[in-house]
Structure 1
Amino acid sequence: MVNFTILAGGYTSFVASYLFNSDTSALTLLNQSPTGANPSWISLHPTNKSILYAVNEDTPGALQSFTIGHEGALTGPIGQISSDGNSPAFTTPL
């Protein structure tokens, strides 16, 4: 059996954490971590997988960073910056 923690953003005000059990194909909600509005795109840091970035796809738009803790719960934002444009729909760390 392998369990996977899945993080999902969307057009809400939180990032949800799910547990996927590969034996039973069950998906269970673990928690919902508050973020800014519409964290529609989330991305992990390329070398530190305990850092998550999320865009706030709204006006005025922002990019936030969080730390990922136990069961995928987020702490933060630990940083936030304006996207200098409305409704950013994508981000990727370099």
Structure 2
Amino acid sequence: MVNFTILAGGYSTFIATYLFNSDAGTLSLVSQSTTGQNPSWIDLHPTNKSILYATNENTDGALQSFFVKQDGSLTPALGQTSSGGNGPAFAVPLSTGEVAVMNPRIGRTY
């Protein structure tokens, strides 16, 4: 049996953790971790897969960071910073330790 942990953001106030069992072909909800509003883009740190970044795609715009626990759920936000603009729709953690956040009209690196 092979189980896969799937983290999913969206237009809500949480990131969901699912478990996919490949043998049974089942997908089950494990947890819903509270985040900021609209964590529409999530990505893991390139070298430390226990750190997750999420954009808050809303008018204020923000980038949050979390630890991913053993069961796939998240800790409360470790930190949050403004994205400097409305609706950050994309973020990518860089090998330098910074995170590039893209708003529709501006790009920032933190």
TM-score (norm. length: structure 1): 0.98
| CA–CA distance in structure 2, aligned partners of residues 78 and 69 of structure 1 | 13
Q: Which has the higher contact order (CA 8 A, sep 6+)?
A: 1
| CA–CA distance in structure 2, aligned partners of residues 50 and 25 of structure 1 | 26
Q: Give 4+ residue runs of structure 1 displaced > 6 Å after superposition.
A: none
Partner of 1:15: 15
For residues 16-60 of structure 1, the C-alpha deviation after alignment (integer angstroms, 9 at most, x for no partner) is 000000101100000000000000000000000000000000011
Partner of 1:25: 25
| CA–CA distance in structure 1, aligned partners of residues 90 and 71 of structure 2 | 25
Q: CA deviation at 1:88?
A: 0.3
Structure with greater Cα Rg: 2
Q: CA deviation at 1:86?
A: 0.5
**Secondary structure at 1:47's aligned position in 2?**
coil
| CA–CA distance in structure 1, aligned partners of residues 5 and 29 of structure 2 | 10
Q: CA deviation at 1:65?
A: 0.1
- The percentage of counterpart residues that share the same residue type is 68
Tell whether 2:66 aligns with 1:69. Answer: no
| CA–CA distance in structure 1, aligned partners of residues 76 and 41 of structure 2 | 17
Partner of 2:54: 54
What is the total number of aligned residue pairs between the two structures? 94
One-letter amino acid matched to 1:84:
G
Root mean square deviation of aligned Cα: 0.6
Partner of 2:105: none
| CA–CA distance in structure 2, aligned partners of residues 70 and 48 of structure 1 | 13
One-letter amino acid matched to 2:25:
S
| CA–CA distance in structure 2, aligned partners of residues 26 and 36 of structure 1 | 29
TM-score (norm. length: structure 2): 0.84
